[in-house]
Structure 1
Amino acid sequence: MKYRTIGSMRVSSLGLGCMGMSEYYGSQSEEESISTLHHAVHLGVNLFDTADQYGLGANEELVGRALAPYRKELYLATKFGYVRSEKGEFIEINGRPDYVKKACDASLKRLGTDYIDLYYLHRVDPRVPIEETVGAMKELVEEGKVRYIGLSEASPETIRRAGRIHPIAALQSEYSLWSREAEEHVLPACRELGISFVPYSPLGRGFLTGKMTSTDQLDADDYRRRTPRFQGDNLAVNIRLVQKLTDIAREMNMTAPQLALAWVLANGDDLIPIPGTKKKHYLEENLAALDITLPEEVKAQLDEMFPIGTAAGERYPHHMMTLLDE
């Protein structure tokens, strides 16, 4: 395994996003997910990413239970801020200090641990000054419940303001060949401030694998069916785009997801992607990207082929886009 750093944590250069094991990406098998989690540990992965809203808490319980035997060897990252009803409907983003404490205690219980290695604010609450939210997170650090603080999908201004209250160890935002907007302002701000950048969806929610040609391939409850990039004319444009990636990967004797991940990794040692999967063979395929040294001319070719804004359609439905870059 190769390693990078978040704070003083020596984390695997690829972490594992666990969301799909409980929700959003169609059907799940707990047995298969646990097997994949254990296999990840055995292959050297030590950074596991979850959130309190994934599966309405079920994902934290699954991750905590599966990884309990290895807890001292691993780094657990989770998030708070999304508030949903018992039926799963979105209610609000909550960054109020009293809720921060309540959410953390609930996550600790579900994870079956007495500390969280990296605790993210999942989305910024525009109604609450970031200083107040991070102030409460700072108290969690002082109490020993949290080791490091992170933000997700925050603007450079918010990141700077938050860092005046307590050091921010990591910023988690979407970043991939078809979602490069972070390069404009967010990633430079993180580098200026010494904050690690954790790309989620580095495979474009599975689209950059090149395996998807129609939403008919997705389960009826798969949330990608409601995502603009997977709909209508947008889908047709994006399929043609990803075919170019697949062609280059084939020429290099690798798979499209391996090339897509190698591109992310080549953009800086401060990037720690967390591709998600429920299956061991995809986990192995993803980890093989760590052994790829991307030639400069290929990276330049991909940079030119996938400029900022190249993907057709927004990356979220409108109501979720409004939660970004606060």
Structure 2
Amino acid sequence: MKYNQLGVSELFVSELSFGCMSLKEDFSTSERLIHNAFEKGINYFDTADLYQNGYNEEVLGRSIKNFRKDVIIATKVGNQIREDGKNWDWNPRKSYILKAVEDSLKRLQTDYIDLYQLHGGTIDDPIDETIEAFEILKREGKIRYYGISSIRPNVIKEYVKQSNMVSVMMQYSLLDRRAEEECLQLLYDHNIGVLARGGLAKGILAGKPAKEYLDYNTTETKKVIDKLTQISIATNKTICNTALQFVIQQPTITSAVLGIRTAHQLEECLATLQTIPLLSEELEVLYKISKANTYDLHR
């Protein structure tokens, strides 16, 4: 397993990492999967206070308590659960963040969070107030670093200008190259790490049937999968392996965050690291057959 430095932080993150949102509610199954991932070299585990109304954080905290100091815990804040437990409201205010972190720390059974991320964000937020909350938590030692999870170029640009964030989590895959237009180079230039989620495009790039995805219709998606399959067969890989290589070979990507549900999925994703990297001409073909999508909003 290769470990990449996350921006200017002292965190070195496995190039494939574990997105906990997809974990099942059965604790013993989830614990085995998390332990398996850790034993295979994955050291970055990403969750959020929103997932399963906090239960996802509890599962992760209980699962890694015996090797807490050997892993990087990332969680997120900003979505305030309503009393009915079914809906939530966006709340990036300082007072809420300072309160929410205490609840996350309890659920995670830890006294510090390695990476605390704003879970979304709009250009109309009180961004200076949000940043102040994160800086206070850093000084108090409750978090080591902070970042944002956002796909909105205008929000990302503001945090680049105003904050000391070390990372941005954003969607990036062969079928979603929107980040290339404005964000990836900007973050690279400022030495801010990129945590890429959605690298398998909801499973479409891992064997699920072709369907509409962003600005691709089903026929267009199928053409991409067909070419991906050709390259994969020629290089003795699965399409999952090739799709993930497309992501992690992008020089601006620190880690591909994978929503893993089963041991089989974990093994197939990890097998990517044992295959020969894509050649420049193969990458060029993949760039040509896919779209350089752009964001319509939040520019």
- TM-score (ref. length: structure 1): 0.83
The verdict on how the C-alpha distance between 1:32 and 1:268 changes in structure 2, with shifts beyond 3 A counting, is same
Q: Which runs of 5+ in 2 are unaligned?
A: none
Q: Kindly indicate whether residue 186 of structure 2 is the aligned counterpart of residue 205 of structure 1.
A: no
> Which string of whole-angstrom CA distances, capped at 9 and with x for unpartnered residues, describes residues 76-110 of structure 1?
00011123335554432210110111111111111
Asked if 1:50 corresponds to 2:34, the answer is no
8 Å CA contact retained: 1:4, 1:269: no
Instruction: Show the 5 A alignment for 1:235-314.
Output: 235=218, 237-268=220-251, 270-291=253-274, 292-309=276-293
Pairing partner for 1:19 from 9, 18, 21? 21
Q: Secondary structure at the match of 1:4?
A: strand
Residue identity in the other structure for 1:129: P
The residue identity in structure 2 corresponding to 1:273 is A
Q: Cα 1:83–1:244, aligned 2, differ >3 Å: closer, same or farther?
A: farther
Q: Which amino acid aligns with 2:290?
A: F
1:222 corresponds in structure 2 to none
Per-residue Cα deviation, 1:172-207 (whole angstroms, up to 9, x for no partner): 000010111000001111011110000011111222
Work out whether 1:184 is the aligned partner of 2:168: no
- Residues 235, 69 of structure 1: CA spacing in aligned structure 2 closer, same or farther, 3 A cutoff? farther
Q: Deviation string for 1:141-175 (max 9, x for gaps)?
A: 01100001101115455344434554111000000
Aligned AA (1:244): K
1:72-151 paired onto structure 2 within 5 Å: 72-85=69-82, 89-151=86-148
SS at structure 1 position matched to 2:52: helix
Contact kept in structure 2, 1:32 and 1:278, CA below 8 Å: no
State the SS of the aligned residue for 1:149.
Answer: strand
1:229 lines up with 2:226 in the alignment = no
User: In 2, are the aligned partners of 1:4 and 1:270 still within 8 Å (CA)?
Assistant: no
Q: CA deviation at 1:246?
A: 2.2
CA contact (8 A) 2:196 2:253 kept: no
The alignment partner of 1:118 has SS state of strand
Q: Map of 1:60-75 to 2, 5 A cutoff? A: 60-75=57-72
**Deviation per residue, 1:104-148 (Å, 9 max, x gap):** 111111111110000100111444321111111110101100001
Contact 1:172 1:197 in 2 (8 A): yes
SS in 1 for 2:202: coil
Q: Percent identity?
A: 36
Distance 1:203 1:86 in 2: 35
Q: Which deviates more, 283-292 or 2-11?
A: 283-292
Unpaired segments ≥5 residues, structure 1: 23-27, 215-227, 315-320
Change (3 A) 1:184 1:269: closer
Report the AA paired with residue 179 of structure 2.
A
Q: What is the CA deviation profile of residues 217-257 of structure 1, one whole-angstrom value per residue up to 9, with x for unaligned ones?
A: xxxxxxxxxxx639xx9445434432332232122111011
Deviations 1:4-45 (A, max 9, x none): 0111111111111110114xxxxx543222111000110011
Distance 1:135 1:118 in 2: 16
Matches of 1:202 and 1:122 in 2, distance apart?
19
* Contact 2:122–2:155 under 8 Å retained in 1: no
